[in-house]
Structure 1
Amino acid sequence: MESKRQQKMASLLQQELAAVLQRDLPHLFSGGLAPGISTVKVTPDLGQARVYLSLLLGGDANERLEIIKDNAKEIRHALAKRIRKTARVVPELIFFHDDSASYAAHMDQVLGTLHIPPAPKDVDDSDDEKPTRPRLFN
């Protein structure tokens, strides 16, 4: 269970990191799309932030993640410039690939290929009788 302080810091980091990756450091992705930030989780001491990136569009996900990890220091520096008046300490950034969207697409494809027969119809149903309502008062 995250504290309010962790939630506020995670929200701030998510917004500002998205802006940093899209506006301040677009050269890291050589003309491709900047990754989306799915989730940010901050440790209780606010020393580390785990950043989960959505890398579906724009090429090989592992290659793009390595580029981001190699430039983590530059990303953290650009982030520090943006949040210097809001946060006292800029947490260490640890980047992860968030593959939940691709997993959801895979599960949707698997469920779409299943053959589920329709439920059998009951033979005892007679449509001419109305169901009786339970009596609430005697």
Structure 2
Amino acid sequence: MESKRQQKFSGVIQKDLAEIFQREGLNILPNIMITVTKVRISPDLAVARIYLSFFNSPNPALSLNTVKLHAGEIRYKLGSRIKDQARIVPQLDFFLDDTSDYVEKMDKIFDKISKEPRQEEKPESEE
């Protein structure tokens, strides 16, 4: 369970990273939209786990690795934005948020189930 302090700091980081990716994301990954879906921060506020979603990316894992290569640059830009709100700039660990893939997979399963003919329940014979 995250403390109020962690939740507030996570929100600040998520907002600022979203703006960084919106403005600078095309320099890192051309023609791919990067969304910061979730930020989890350690209790000491030193490590941030950032979950990203990539729109229009043929290979999200490759896109994630590209972002990881630019982590130092992204952290520097984040630091310039939050310098008045935080003592230290957290280490940024990026992860792929596959929630949308999971939802899509589940939707396909439910569609398949709904298209199958229903089997009528047979009443059990009373003895």
- Normalising by structure 2, what TM-score? 0.86
Give, in whole Å, the separation in 2 of the partners of 1:44 and 1:103.
29
1:22-62 CA deviation, whole Å, 9 max, x = no partner?
113430012x1331011000000001000000124233101
Considering only CA atoms, is the larger Rg found in Structure 1 or Structure 2? 1
SS in 1 for 2:105: helix
Kept after mapping to 2: 8 A contact 1:39/1:53: yes
Give, in whole Å, the separation in 1 of the partners of 2:33 and 2:71.
14
Matched residue, 2:29: 29
More strand by share: 2
SS in 2 for 1:35: strand
Kept after mapping to 2: 8 A contact 1:24/1:78: no
Kept after mapping to 2: 8 A contact 1:56/1:102: no
Matched residue, 1:97: 96
Matched residue, 1:131: none
Matched residue, 2:4: 4
Give, in whole Å, the separation in 1 of the partners of 2:120 and 2:75.
56
- Paired residues, number: 119
Give, in whole Å, the separation in 2 of the partners of 1:5 and 1:24.
28
More helix by share: 2
1:54-104 CA deviation, whole Å, 9 max, x = no partner?
124233101100100011000000111111112221100000000011111
Find runs of 4+ consecutive structure 1 residues off by over 4 angstroms: none
Which stretch of structure 1 is more off in the superposition, 55-64 or 90-99? 55-64
Which ranges of structure 1 fall in alignment gaps of 5 or more residues? 121-138
Is 1:46 aligned to 2:70, yes or no?
no
Pairs within 5 Å for 1:1-138 = 1-30=1-30, 32-114=31-113, 115=116, 117=118
Which ranges of structure 2 fall in alignment gaps of 5 or more residues? 122-127
- Normalising by structure 1, what TM-score? 0.80
